[in-house]
Amino acid sequence: MVGTGRRVALRIEGIAATAPEPDKTLWVGQGILKGDKMDTVVQKCTELGVSRFTPFHSSRCQGKLDPVQSRKKQERWQRIGLEACKQCLRLRVPHLDGPVVYGELLQGKAMENDMSLRLLFWEEEKELHVRDLPEIGAAPSVFLLLGPEGGFTREEVELARAAGFRTVSLGERILRAETATLTAVAIVQFLAGNL
């Protein structure tokens, strides 16, 4: 620091992290929800340390996927993500993709290079609970797929399985879509040691 009179010059020598970023990449694919529920999911997923968020349109989503509206929604969600980062003192804003069609998400370029542990949360899965996956702690990245209101169709589940996803359960209760997403993210972050 150098100062003369009313002037002061400062040199920044480094930036100290205020809140650690999770050491694991967590990518959430979320079926587009009705109303302002997506705003809440983006905000809370950001607070919970999600690295990437991709909204998708599947057969049980309400309405159509309009390119102009999609761009506006993406911009809104990016603002919400930035504000959530400020609120929780997070240093990195998650990557927020524009809405895509479900099949494109599963077959896109990002999936080709993605070596994540891939989990699809499905209310009809009765065998495997997310808490019973010790590999979550060892995986360098985890990709979660969660459906819209009404969940996934069997055909959508089979497409995901063909793309390397395992179906997992959150338990006996049927949760609202937005509650299921936040519960899944919190459980995975806890099991990964990031909460």
Residue 82 has pLDDT above 70, yes or no: yes
Contact 61, 148 (CB under 8 A): yes
55 found inside a domain:
yes
Residue 115 has pLDDT above 90, yes or no: no
Contact 167, 125 (CB under 8 A): yes
* Cross-strand bridge partners of residue 96: 53
3 found inside a domain:
no
Residue 12 has pLDDT above 90, yes or no: no
The CATH number linked to 133 is 3.40.1280.10
User: With bands split at pLDDT 50, 70 and 90, how would you rate the model's confidence at 16?
Assistant: low
Mean pLDDT estimate for the chain: 90
Contact 151, 105 (CB under 8 A): no
Calculate mean pLDDT across residues 124-145: 92
- Structure tokens belonging to residue 105: 């998400």
Tens digit of pLDDT for each residue in 18-59? 566 777 889 999 999 998 999 999 999 999 999 999 999 999
How many domains are there within the chain?
A: 1
Tens digit of pLDDT for each residue in 97-107? 999 999 999 98
Distances (CA, A) of 131 to 23, 117, 136, 138: 19, 14, 9, 14
15 found inside a domain:
no
Containing structural domain, residue 99: 23-191
pTM: predicted TM-score of the whole model, two decimal places:
0.86
130 found inside a domain:
yes
pLDDT computed for residue 24 by the predictor: 81
- Find, among 134, 147, 128, the residue nearest to 188 by Cα: 134
Tens digit of pLDDT for each residue in 56-75? 999 999 878 888 888 999 99
41 found inside a domain:
yes
